[in-house]
Structure formats: structure tokens, C-alpha cells
Structure 1
Amino acid sequence: MSDTAYRAAAPDYLHAALILGSFALFATAHLVHYPVALMSVLGVAAVVREPARLREPGVRTLLLLFACIWLPMLAALPDAVAPTRTQKTVLLYLHLLPAAIYLAGACARPEVLRLVTQGVVVLVVFAGLDAFAQLIWHEDFFGYPYEDGILKGLFYPKQRLGLFLALFAPLVIDVVRAWCRQYPPLWLLHLPLLIVVLVSLKRSAWLMLGVGLFGYAFVVRRAHDGRPALRAWHVLLLVAIAGVAVATNPPLRNQIATSAGLFSGDAAAFDRASAYRLTLWRDGLAMFADNWLNGVGPRGYRSAYAEYAAADDFWLERSGGHGQTHPHQMTIEVAAECGVIGLAGLAMFYVVAFGAWRRLAGQPSSPVWMLCALVAWFPLNAHLAFYGSYWSTLVWMLLAIALARLPQTPPEQLRQAA
């Protein structure tokens, strides 16, 4: 590469390095917030330098989506049960918008989008192989142990591995399908990822994986590229791998056996089988009933928990009287903390997001990025906090990358005009 070509390509590589570094740091507890803060500063600078950027289709859609989530948070402030914490949450949430604007601008450059897409897939595949090594040798590449029958891999000691692998499964499948045109054996990269998601013992990850695979089949069908998402023998092999994983992994067998209580029809059995989630959901719905308009305030669930919990509440006893930080069900969390206003905003968010997803048809990789964002905020998800900074940061990064190349006109109208 000549000096001129190198200088021309250098900005693309710098953008991609910052974005990929941010994704890599999700394996840590808090370090991801530093590069995201830098992206926020860069986003503000970009808008100040070029105000016209706010009129781009992807950025306009980002602004609308952000308003759907943030304005209900603001409306919950006046009578929040934990004013200081809610104020901090609402104000700090704002920095995600300029960070998303920066990401949308950077990934509007085709080479940056290509580098980020393939780089994220490499990171996810590496995380899966690292966890697979942990499963086999009871220690991953970095010395993190396999404890209590739960794979945690690079996310040790947090139990987030399965969530991330399941979330990015559609993107991995999409990129590996392209790689397989030249190197067909690379299809085998899917196998350790499937095993790790199963053995992570996160039922919420299993749900996300199922939703993501179903959504990806829809994306492929809309693309009309003539290639099935998975061939019949692929499906049979995946089923066989899943069966072997169940047969040979006692913790996984126990988790599946415990999950049978979810279908027992008995409330107490359901509560135990759901890891006492039913208790959290009841308390969250009680908060919603008492604060139906604007909720108890973002991140206020933890402060109101003791007031709504029973005297013998499992979580109160386990935590020494503090209870849980969030209800582990995204729709209930929105209802409890932002009320009907929050639910209306969330419904509008889905309407706008699905409309954008439709307009992204035909764009390289962008529909799959949007699918990952929708899977992350699937209404039935029962894992990390909806208003928590960790998961919110991830979702807005996904949305920004997805919308970076949003066209002005839906592809159907473009075809009709032609």
C-alpha cells in the first residue's frame, strides 16, 4: 500500500479500532464506558462541526428512537422513589446519544462497517473458542476457571457469556456464511458457539438464540439470495450436538430438569424453576399498579423493593434486606419504573425500529445488526436491566451501527420507481 493510500485508509482503521476495542471491553465490568465516553465527545464534536449530520436518515431515526426511551425516563423524575439515583440515571443516559451519532457517522463509511462487522465476529468466535477450552480443560486461555458447572469464559466472574454469544449469533452466521463461499469448513465455527450457549446454563440466552435464529431466517428470506440460512444436514448436526451436550453435561441436564417446573401449572413450582423470578415480577407489577402513570423512576425498583416484598421474600432473605436491583423481565421493568408512559414509548420504539429494519433490506450486514439490537431488547428477555448502563450501552451501539447506512427511501419504493 502506498503512503497516499495508507493515509487515506488510516481514518477508517482508527474508527474501527475504537469501535472494536469498545466491544472487546464488554468482557469487563466497567472499562467499556471509557471508549464510549470518547465516542460521545467525538459525536458532539461531529455535530458542532457539521450540524447537517442531524438530518441524515439514520441519525434522524436514532433521535426518534432515543426520544421513545429517554422522554419517559424524564417523565418519571418528578415523583421518583429514589430521586438522586434516578436523576443520575436519566442524565448519564444522555451521553449514549452523541456516542451513537458518532458510531452512525463512522459506520456510514463502507470500509469501517466491513471492518467492524468482521472484527466483531472474530471477537465473538474467539470468546466461544475460549469458553470451549474452559469446558474441556476447566480453564480458559487466560486462566479463568470453570466453576460450579457454569461457563463464564472471558466474562469471568460474571455470567454474561451465553447472553453475548446468543445475541451475536445472527451476525456470526451471516459473516461465516460469506466466508464459507471460499472456505467451506469454516461452517464448523458454529458448533463450539452452540455448545457454549447451551452449557452457559442461561435460559435467557437460549431464548435469545431462538429468537435470533428465527429472525435471521426472516432476513435471509427477505434478501432473496437463493441460499438457505441453514441446510437440512446442518440442522440435523446442530440437533445432534445439542443432544450430546445434554447427555454429557450434568449441570445442563439439571437445568433442563429444573425448567420443567415452568410448565407445571403450580405457582410455587414455577417460582422455584424460574430462579424465583415470579416473586420479582409480582413485586414489579405491584409497583406498576401503584405508580401506573410514570412508575417509580428508572433504577428505582431496588429502592421500592422492600416495601412491596413479602416478609419471607426469598430475595430479601438472601440479600440481607435489600432485595433485587431489577425485576429480570424487561417489559415489567419498563412498566414498574416508567409506567404507562414508558410502555407507550417502548411500543413506539418497536414500531420505529421495525420500520427502519424494513428499509434496511438489501444493505450489507445492516439488517442483521438491527436484528441483534431487537433481540437484545426482545420484550420477554429476563436477564440484565433495561435501564442499566451496561446493556443500554450495548443496545445503542448496535442500533447506531445498524442505522448508519439507512436509506431515505424503502427498497420497495426504489424498485417501483425503477
Structure 2
Amino acid sequence: MTAKNIPVPPATPQMWLLAVFLSLPIALLPIARSFMLPLGMLAILGLFMLVGLLRHRQQFNTEDKALQVLPRVFLFIWLPMLVSWPDAEVPEQVQKVASLYPLYALMALAVVILLRATAASRQLAILGSWIVGVWAFDGVAQTLLGIDMFNIPLDREGVVAGHASGFFTNPNKYGFYMGMFAAMPLFTMYLCGVNRLTHILVSTLVTAGVLVGAARGGWIMYAWALIPYLYLVYIKPAKRPIIPMLVLPLLLVAMFAITLQFSAGVQERVKRSMAASQELTYESLNTASSGRVDIYLAAWNMVKANPVNGIGVDSYEQRFRAYLPEQANIPDSVTVPHAHQVILEVWSGAGTLGLFGFLLAWAAMWRLWKQALPEQRKLALPFIIPLAVLWWPINTHRGFYPSELAVLTLFMLALSIAALTQARVQTK
């Protein structure tokens, strides 16, 4: 029996209760590392679930795609980390990172089993969308009024001038997380079949929230999420697709121009990026990219020196100066925590084995996506698009291996797998 002919039950209080609990990691992201608390509780629950699965392995459904794909993707990422450990340049750092990953896997296991049991993915997508909508509203208000709804000023200590930070306790994370999670409200609207006016109003608010964050990585992630959204909502249903294909880019340019007038952070980003267009030199490109050329070349030098298993995962910060090119201009007082590019970070940290494992993880998720029913794919979009843009090869911000992004990666992976294999699909 397929998802198409299984009757969809009405939403129950249990569904909403589980959705509230699973939305807590997203809701708590602005408050330091408090989001780890509910994820830690899920890891403990996942341990008991794993013991239960092993005790009843004789009755275990070996054809369950969710419980096939989740461990495979985890191992594709984790095993190269272990291989990089024996001759790592900073072995204690690799040991610290690799030892935490099994806990993240237990958390992911609990998420998959709970969501599969309650079919609460749709409710979770709705709650997550409201949370991201609040972030967007708060950031836009902070930019326009100079202060947000919690009386947090736009310019304060520890914040890049003019960059909206909302109520994030680590202010410079607002733009990144807005760019990553902005896909959730967009594709939840598509999932729920809302009217065109709601699409326009919410997508405008979310786009403005991403722009005022003035984070290059956030902009890049959101741009990749926006393309399939615009296609599914405006271009594909249109009788004359050429009209939205011409109008939508103009509207986006106009919105960017308006944001440019009000956001000093966006003005600063554009000014810095334009520096490279005047003279294509190493120095101008490096300045325009906030030192990325130096950072990328250091990562590439790590790859060349350790091509098989890398220098050890999450060791870039401790070792990058030894691999900087001669013309590098990074002050001694400045530290670089990671390679600022997904492929280079995985490749330099875990070598070619790590890169191969990363590509296998992509392939496993792609295969699951192709095997899923249309209703399951639609249900998974609010979760799998943020994961895809986070894993996208040109993503330029945040590390792949540090605990914060690592646990969020497996959390979004679990949400995606649960939705793609959910038996009872409710799309409207």
C-alpha cells in the first residue's frame, strides 16, 4: 500500500506536541548553545531506541528505507573522520569531534522514529516557518527602526556595523541562519497550498530578512533555495511562463535596490564586492572576498600535502598559518576557524576519502529522493532544501565539522529522511 491510498488522519494533539518539541532546536538557535539541550535529550532517547531495535532485530524490517539511509549517510561522513585521526596534525581535536558524532547519530535516529510514528512533519514545518518569520520580521524592524522588538539596537558591541542581528546572542550568526532556514516558510507555503497573496507577502518579508543580515553565505544559500521555489510557485503553474521569468528577476532587483537604500550592512557588502571589479588582482580579490583567497589557498595547500586523509577534521584553525601562501596578508591577531568552503573544508580535513564520503552522502539522499512519491517529496521540501543549501559546494560560511553545524546537519538530515519515507502524507 502506498502513501497515495493510505487515508490521511486529521492532526492530533500528539502531532502538535511532538512538533513543538522538535521545533525547539530551531527556536533556541538565537540563544547561544541552548539549542543543544533538546537535541541532547533526543540523543538519550535515541540510545534507548537503538537498544530496542537491536533486541528485536529478528522482527526488524530490513526494507525500511529510513533506517537504511540514515546510518549509511552517517558512516559516509564519520568513517573518513576516523581514518584522518591516526596521523592528524592535531589528533586531540579530531578525537574530540569524532567522538561526538555517534551522539548526533542517536539524536537523528530518535527524530526519524518519532516522526515516522506520528506523521507530524507537516505540523513541524508550520511551526518552524513561524519561527523563521519572527526572525525575519525582527531583523527588518531592527534595520528600519535602529532597534528590534526586544529593544536590541542595530549597532552594538560585537556586531558588524549595519548588519541586522536580531535577538541572536551571537549576532553575526543571524544572516547565516536566515539564509539557511528561509527556505522553510517558502516551501511550507507551497506544501500547504496557501493563496498567492500570502506567498507574496511572506516571501517578501523573508527575502528582506535575508538581505539585511548582510551575510554573503546567507545570500548564496537563499539564492539557491529561491530558484526552485519561484519555479514551483510562479513559473510552472503559469500559462505563459515567460512572463514570470521576466518579471520576477526585475522584482528581485528592485527589492535589492530598496534594501540597499536602507541597510548600511548591504551597502558595505556591495562596496567591498565591487572592489574586485575595478582591478582584478590578488589583493583586490582577496579584499572583496574578505580574505577568502588566502583562506582557500591555505586549504588547497593542505590538500596537496595530505591528499589521502587530510590534516585531520576541524583542525584548520590550529594549522592554517603553516599553509598560507607567501603573499597572504592575514594579521597575526586574526584567526580563521575553518576553510569557508564546504568542499575545501571536507577535502583538507579528511582528504580524498572524506570528499568521496561526502559525495556518497549526497548520492544516498538523491537516491532516496528519486524513490520517494511526489507527496513525500513535497512534504520533505521545507527540510531538505535547508540541508541541500548547507551542503551545497559553494557554501562559504560556517564549518562543516564543528559541533554546532554538525548536529544541525544530522538534525535536518533526519527531518528530511522522515518526511521522504512517511507513510501518511498530508499536503493540504
| Band the TM-score falls in, shorter-chain normalisation | 0.7 to 0.9
- For 2:230 and 2:366, how far apart are their aligned partners in 1? 16
In structure 2, stretches of 5+ residues that fail to align are 1-10, 55-59, 156-160, 424-428
Counterpart of 1:81 in 2: which secondary structure? coil
In structure 2, the partner of 1:41 is 44
The 1:37/1:157 distance shift into structure 2, 3 A limit, reads closer
Shift of 1:298: 1.0
Partners of 1:219 and 1:368 within 8 A in 2: no
Shift of 1:262: 4.4
In structure 2, the partner of 1:4 is none
In structure 2, the partner of 1:282 is 297
Residue 135 (str. 1) matches residue 130 (str. 2): no
Partners of 2:346 and 2:354 within 8 A in 1: yes
Give the AA of the match of 1:208.
M
Q: Aligned ranges for residues 257-406 of structure 1 at < 5 Å?
A: 257-263=271-277, 264-309=279-324, 313-319=328-334, 323-360=335-372, 361-363=374-376, 364-406=378-420
Q: Aligned ranges for residues 154-173 of structure 1 at < 5 Å?
A: 154-173=167-186
Shift of 1:16: 1.9
- For 2:231 and 2:367, how far apart are their aligned partners in 1? 15
Shift of 1:107: 1.8
Residue 76 (str. 1) matches residue 84 (str. 2): yes
The CA RMSD measured in Å over matched residues stands at 2.8
Shift of 1:194: 1.2
Which shows bigger deviation, 266-275 or 163-172?
A: 163-172
Residue 30 (str. 1) matches residue 33 (str. 2): yes
Shift of 1:220: 6.5
Shift of 1:260: 2.3
- For 2:294 and 2:125, how far apart are their aligned partners in 1? 40
Shift of 1:182: 5.7
Counterpart of 1:337 in 2: which secondary structure? helix
Shift of 1:22: 1.4
Shift of 1:353: 1.8
Shift of 1:143: 2.3
In structure 1, the partner of 2:100 is 92
Give the AA of the match of 1:209.
Y
Partners of 2:65 and 2:421 within 8 A in 1: yes
Residue 106 (str. 1) matches residue 120 (str. 2): no
In structure 2, the partner of 1:20 is 23
Q: TM-score, normalised by structure 1?
A: 0.86
Give the AA of the match of 1:266.
T
Residue 62 (str. 1) matches residue 70 (str. 2): yes
In structure 2, the partner of 1:209 is 222
The 1:174/1:308 distance shift into structure 2, 3 A limit, reads closer
Shift of 1:61: 0.6
Partners of 1:57 and 1:408 within 8 A in 2: no
Question: Which digits, 9 at most, give the CA deviation of each residue in 1:356-408, with x for residues without a partner?
Answer: 22233331421342222111111111100010111122121111111114349
- For 1:343 and 1:315, how far apart are their aligned partners in 2? 27
In structure 1, the partner of 2:269 is 255
Partners of 2:116 and 2:422 within 8 A in 1: no
Shift of 1:217: 5.0
Shift of 1:58: 1.3
Shift of 1:266: 1.5
Shift of 1:187: 3.2
Question: Which digits, 9 at most, give the CA deviation of each residue in 1:28-76, with x for residues without a partner?
Answer: 2211112111101111212222343776211211111111111110100
In structure 1, stretches of 5+ residues that fail to align are 1-7, 410-418
Which shows bigger deviation, 186-195 or 41-50?
A: 186-195
Moved over 6 A (4+): 218-222, 224-228
Partners of 1:191 and 1:238 within 8 A in 2: no
- What is the aligned length? 397
Question: Which digits, 9 at most, give the CA deviation of each residue in 1:122-165, with x for residues without a partner?
Answer: 00001111111111221212222201101011224331222222
Question: Which digits, 9 at most, give the CA deviation of each residue in 1:252-292, with x for residues without a partner?
Answer: 22311221244553111100111111111111111111111
Q: Aligned ranges for residues 190-269 of structure 1 at < 5 Å?
A: 190-217=203-230, 236-263=250-277, 264-269=279-284
Shift of 1:332: 0.8
- Percent identical among aligned pairs is 23
- For 2:400 and 2:234, how far apart are their aligned partners in 1? 30
Counterpart of 1:56 in 2: which secondary structure? coil
Counterpart of 2:32 in 1: which secondary structure? coil
- For 2:31 and 2:118, how far apart are their aligned partners in 1? 29
Shift of 1:176: 2.7
- For 2:49 and 2:209, how far apart are their aligned partners in 1? 40
Which shows bigger deviation, 135-144 or 360-369?
A: 360-369
Partners of 2:186 and 2:199 within 8 A in 1: no
- For 1:343 and 1:178, how far apart are their aligned partners in 2? 33
- For 2:79 and 2:86, how far apart are their aligned partners in 1? 13
In structure 1, the partner of 2:4 is none
Partners of 1:179 and 1:186 within 8 A in 2: no
The 1:43/1:244 distance shift into structure 2, 3 A limit, reads same
Give the AA of the match of 1:32.
F
